[in-house]
Amino acid sequence: MLVYLTLNVEHRTLNRFPLTPNGFFDIRYTNYDILIADSPDALYNISFICYELAMKVECEGNAYSFEKPMLASKLLEQLSLSRETHLVVVNGKLVTEDHRIDRDDEVKLIRVVSGG
């Protein structure tokens, strides 16, 4: 069964919508107004993937985007990078591994190893 839910809210509000206490729903939506979920419980248990606010990560000329906020250490892990070889710069400032990166942050991963 499909539940159609219409929302007319700003990106920010969407982003802060309460998350589900018992995990995720696979929710896909075609635009910012219409949400499509595959269970009636979706009305209560909604977690949003807001592509507009995805975390943008730049690393060695490649661009990645992540949908969930996460710790800097987790981000390095996801890209199979070591904290010894890459520094994490969030919005122009260097951060430690335990820094929580938000979805609207701009992240640069800087490789420190050079030379031959």
Please report, as ranges, the residues that interact with another protein according to CB under 8 A.
82-85, 87, 89, 93-99, 110-116
Q: Which is nearer to another protein, 56 or 67 (CB)?
A: 56
Q: Which two tokens stand for residue 19?
A: 């998350």
- CA–CA separation, 11 and 27 (whole Å): 16
DSSP helix/strand/coil, 8 = coil
Angle among Cα 69, 113, 55 to the nearest 5 degrees reads 15
Q: Which is nearer to another protein, 58 or 104 (CB)?
A: 58
Q: Which is nearer to another protein, 11 or 111 (CB)?
A: 111
Contact 109, 58 (CB under 8 A): yes
> Least distance from C-beta 85 to another protein, angstroms?
5
